[in-house]
Structure 1
């Protein structure tokens, strides 16, 4: 309610309520200026009589008719009784339709629709009353602009008046379609790939909103894009960027569900976003690098990764640029990729032809280069778990400071070896190197498809410069066992250590004589088993480390006396045949006998094993076939056998004593 305000001068200013951002603001204007009120605000006039005659005492704007003046005057210069107030408004009712007019108050109220026309008066409560009177009527308002006027008079007593009008929105009552939106336009931007739609606001009071439609030009199927609020006068659409022409139109709909006729059709042509070209996939050290040509209008791209075929289980990525490196793939594994463009509407183009690649195996970690007189041994390490499926390595050599690299892999043949710390080391000896020459080496790996990875760093060496033999082990021990000797030694720390060589000799008067090389071990092995029958010999051992250049260290000598497990019963002499015993892979002892050369004196042989507990020889099962088997023999000891030959007549020869050492299981 906007009560009339008391003016402060005789020439009272009229009050105008203007709409500003949806709010009503009071604007003072001179009394001589005509008061105008913006629809749908009412123009209100105050009269000092009940016939609305003469010049109004006051004119202003009222956003709603809902006043209660009590028994006082409604405005300065008016009496408290016998005054009149008139409200008028002219507005556009759009398509019109069913409305309700509701009035109440003390005293007289009359409501007109288009006053001055036949049947204009819609409510007539024109009498002096001491109780509130009210009335609601249903009115059908034609389309277009119409004027509503409300006259109110107060004869005596309290003054109160209220009036409101509203559309009837029940679907059973309102069957009038709203007007189609006017001023419909559509404009497409290649930069944003968007269509901007616009229209003027519909005047319907019962407007519920707008529906926006789109179709591909030349088709009959319209797609409902969005349902918008009644306040909307624009909409932005992002059609698929296919280069096609799209038609748009808009309908209004009211609260009863009635839809308007359509606007005129507005058409735009979209930008054509196509499948990317120039697609490549390249294996790198960090992953698989993908590249393609930019597609005009694409806002991003979709990269599809599949296993082995384009129809396999896929993983997708959506980069915004024209390149992408897939770092999540395992090394050496084959992966296929396709790429498509995505436009601003989210449409995905057809995919490109598939491209396959493998991530490179990791570059080996270079170790050291150890010179010989005319060769160089190069070492390196490779991460077999995360480095990829190495199928082999390539060794490259450059002379001096030259940048010309030559592959020398076939001249050395790489191999693996275990190191004392439990790791594995790879190495290759370049036997094609010259003497007294400086070289640089680098190594690369390759996978099962012969795809080579990046090279390692460089390592340098000059041939002919290493003449220093490795140091001897700090400690060496020799322990006599019932089956032979256990030899152990401490680790040698020389970086160029290639192997340990083990030598055995005979101790005579405390001196190690007649040494001979038994064998050699890798650098990770610091023990040796000399399986030798325990017959009380005095032996000596030397462990001599050797480097890559062939320099052999002096070593450390240790002495040991074997255990003596020979039978305490002497074997008679005079045997004419020979015999021997050996340990089979299955852990059995095989005993053989043989007639004298050039004869067949014996048809078979018999054997008995020495039993130290009973000090007797226990016979083995008799057999007509050789060898004789001694099954389930004890381990970790030395065994002695007497072997006799059996003649055709059943007589036997003198025995021959043979022995075999049976070490414990490794």
Structure 2
């Protein structure tokens, strides 16, 4: 037993308790007092017990990030190999909570607790050869919770493993907290920091930098800090953070405080375009010595927020130096839209630019210089040497330009006492007036104009366009032997005063004798008018040359003329090589080129063969007048239906001498459909015509019809094929219907049927029309 003397020798130290005996030295060591263990919020606190009831003082307490142990002997030095227990415990804030898919496995005793509620209870000695593996899922709400795993080893090996990854859920994370924002003026960076979310399934954070007007930049991070370099524009910036978990659930966004950057950013270059700069001329006022140029710079598209101070700069070279010439402060004159330079000298080229200054005193770069040349406000000198030369086509004006800065000339004209009108503007010292009326006196006024629009004094001259000549076409006896003169004149020529016809014994003396002439119009087209005139007092004279002059309304006559000899009574030679070939579209006619030099035309008659008293003749039909150089003709009159046709060809010269007729006969091909079309169709007015290679159909609108169908005969199939259906409206009137067949076969005759379709779907009897389509090549 311990005596009082021994007790007196007790010494208590910080490390334990020592006992000293007089005759012996015995050291007794008490268990050390274990310091408190603190583990991270994702680390389990692990305690070792020397029993399986987890009672008494733990052998050791430490931290374990992963529960995955396999002990073949004692888990700790000083502990037994069997009959021990280990406990893992984690208490933390789980944020918004979530679900976890766990698996607890190992030997002997295994237990899982969540907030004190037992989830797994496998508490028996399993031996080394077997064990337990328990899967499961637990879900927890937001806030703080405790997860605990107990393991007891009674005999043999000791194994334990616990996994608990977060499983998919739809719970969004909580908004980040503790957001701080700082701005470093030296580096120009704004920085933000925030507390890490408590949820265990956070994947990233969305970071948004915002101003009061909206977001300016956005990115993601897995950390809890962010930095951004905002513009030094005096605006407020802040960071807004949003947590996103592995299941792409987005939590609420939390924003930190604003920081304000210093305004060191110049405003944008003003939106001043070259088209916004113009030059006008002011009267200079009473004290001025005359008009002055003024430069106007329009700022109507510039907002006060872009400045509000705007400056106009001027230089004499694009590279400068620039001088300030005008300032506009929209705070003082909010309605103003122009900067003006009223000090520019005329005829000088300047370079203008503009800049903007904001309320912090930051000034933008200047706009690109725009070259502006000041106008010349002085009028140029008047033209000299103005002259006019008239012919039958025009009145040609020319003049000597002044030696100053005139760049164009305005030409005015006035007929008689009418007011002058601008005829045109010349860029050289001449002008051709093509609008002058033949034989009418016109007064011309010419002004010199400089680039600025200044106009000189007026210079005038009068002239008169000549009347175009009347050209004799031919001169020959008519059926009664009287001299017949044909006269041709341009359709736009003023010949309202008639014609003057002269005769003479030679071409040189043709204007000797005035002859009586009562012109009768016999032909007119867009270019020419032809007249017939009987020279009743010419036949008995010895003159053989005749000419004609046109007379304008004011009595002026044409100045040029052509003499015509009255002696050509010989007809050209007969046409040769005249042949007819039957084609699917009609008849092709060909003949040789005439050898006569004075051929004026060919006359072709298309008729029907007729036999009278045993004599075969070509009965009268349609006549065609063809050009002198023509050697062919395509006859598409009537459809090729197997009938006989005849063609008579004559050649006529300039004196109207006709050859005898040359006649050919041919039998048409028969292209009619083999399927007959019965009469009695309610569709009326159907006709077909060729137009630019297409077949055009028109017919009367039928009351009660809701639509129409168009069929074309297909010779290869021997049937009518439908090619169109519908309302087939005429674009110009409701009274008719219309269809244009662009696919009509060229080089043949096309046959068409048109039927009406009624509301009940029935179809009327067809109407028939056909057109011959000659080849176009």
Q: TM-score, normalized by length of structure 2? A: 0.33
Greater RCO (Cα-Cα under 8 Å, separation 6 or more): 1
